Chains A and B, each alone.
Chain A
Amino acid sequence: MTEQEQPKPAKPKIPRQKMREQDPLERAHNFYEVALGYDNDLALLESSRCLKCKKPYCMAGCPVEVDIPDFISMVKAGDVLGASWKLKEKNSLPRIAGRVCPQESQCESKCVLNKKGKGEPCAIGRLERYVADWAAEHAEGKMPELPKPTGLKVGVVGSGPAGLTLAGALIKKGVAVTVFEALHELGGVLVYGIPEFRLPKAIVRSEIDELRQLGVEFKTNWVVGRIETVDDLLEKRKFDAVFIGTGAGAPLFLRIPGENLNGVYSANEYLTRSNLMKAYMFPEWDTPVAKGRRVVVFGGGNVAMDSARTALRLGAEEVTIVYRRTMDELPARSEEVHHAIEEGVKFQLLTAPQEILGKETGWAVGVKCQKMELGEPDDSGRRRPVPVAGAYFDIECDTVIVAIGNAANPLVPSTTKNLETNKWGNIVADLETGKTSKDRVWAGGDIVTGAATVILAMGAGRKSALSMLQTFGI
Chain B
Amino acid sequence: MFEILAKERIGPGVNRAVISAPDIARAHKPGQFIILRTQENGERIPLTVADKDAEKGTITLVWQEVGVTTYYMGTMCPGDKLQDLCGPLGKPTHIEKFGTVVGVGGGIGVAPLYPITKGMHDAGNHVITILGARTEGLLIMTDDMKKVSDETLIATDDGSFGIHGFVTQVLQGLIDKGTKIDLCAAIGPVPMMRAVVKVTKAANIPTVVSLNPIMVDGTGMCGACRVEVGGKTMFGCVDGPEFDGFEVDFDLLMKRLAMYKGPELIALNKFRETPRGCECEIPGGTS
Q: A residues within 8 Å of B by Cβ?
A: 182-184, 192, 220-223, 226-228, 249-251, 253, 255, 259-260, 262-263, 265-266, 268-269, 272-273, 277-278, 281-288, 290, 361-362, 409-411
Interface residues on B, range: 35 or more
* B34 CB, min distance to chain A CBs, angstroms: 9
The residues of A that contact B226 with a CB separation of less than 8 Å are 260
Whether A221 touches B216, Cβ cut-off 8 Å, given contacts A282-B267, A288-B263, is: no
The residues of A that contact B221 with a CB separation of less than 8 Å are 192, 249-251, 268, 272, 409
Q: Are the C-beta atoms of A260 and B27 separated by less than 8 Å?
A: no
- B68 adjacent to chain A (CB < 8 Å): yes
Interface 1/0 per residue, B242-281 and A, CB below 8 Å: 0000000000100110111001101100100000000000
Of the candidates A221, A253, A281, the one whose C-beta lies within 8 Å of that of B223 is A253
The residues of A that contact B85 with a CB separation of less than 8 Å are 221
- Cβ < 8 Å to A, chain B residues 203-254: 216-217, 219-224, 226, 228, 233, 238, 252
Looking at the complex, which of B41-49, B110-118, B138-146, B182-190 is the stretch in contact with chain A? Answer: B41-49
Q: Are the C-beta atoms of B267 and A286 separated by less than 8 Å?
A: yes
A-B pairs with beta carbons under 8 Å apart, 9 shown? A221-B86, A249-B220, A250-B223, A255-B233, A273-B216, A277-B44, A277-B216, A287-B44, A361-B255
Whether A410 touches B220, Cβ cut-off 8 Å, given contacts A184-B37, A260-B233, A362-B256, is: yes
Instruction: Give Cα A266 to B68, complex, Å.
Output: 25
The residues of A that contact B86 with a CB separation of less than 8 Å are 182-184, 221, 223
Q: Are the C-beta atoms of B252 and A269 separated by less than 8 Å?
A: no
The residues of A that contact B69 with a CB separation of less than 8 Å are 286
Apart from A223-B86, A362-B256, list 10 A-B contacts with CB within 8 A. A221-B85, A223-B88, A227-B87, A249-B220, A250-B220, A277-B44, A277-B216, A285-B42, A288-B267, A411-B220
Task: Give the interface SS of chain A, mostly helix, strand, loop or mixed.
Answer: loop
The residues of A that contact B26 with a CB separation of less than 8 Å are 227
Instruction: Give Cα A168 to B84, complex, Å.
Output: 26
- B181 adjacent to chain A (CB < 8 Å): no
* B45 CB, min distance to chain A CBs, angstroms: 9
The residues of A that contact B266 with a CB separation of less than 8 Å are 282-283, 288
Whether A411 touches B263, Cβ cut-off 8 Å, given contacts A221-B86, A283-B270, is: no
- B96 adjacent to chain A (CB < 8 Å): no
- Residue of A with least CB distance to B268: A283
Instruction: Give Cα A411 to B235, complex, Å.
Output: 13
- B89 adjacent to chain A (CB < 8 Å): yes
Q: Are the C-beta atoms of A228 and B41 separated by less than 8 Å?
A: no
- B83 adjacent to chain A (CB < 8 Å): yes
Instruction: Give Cα A259 to B226, complex, Å.
Output: 10
- B130 adjacent to chain A (CB < 8 Å): no
Instruction: Give Cα A390 to B118, complex, Å.
Output: 59
Scoring B238, B255, B270 by chain A CB atoms within 10 A of each residue's CB, the highest score goes to B255
The residues of B that contact A183 with a CB separation of less than 8 Å are 86, 217, 219
Of the candidates B32, B43, B222, B256, the one whose C-beta lies within 8 Å of that of A260 is B256
- B24 adjacent to chain A (CB < 8 Å): yes
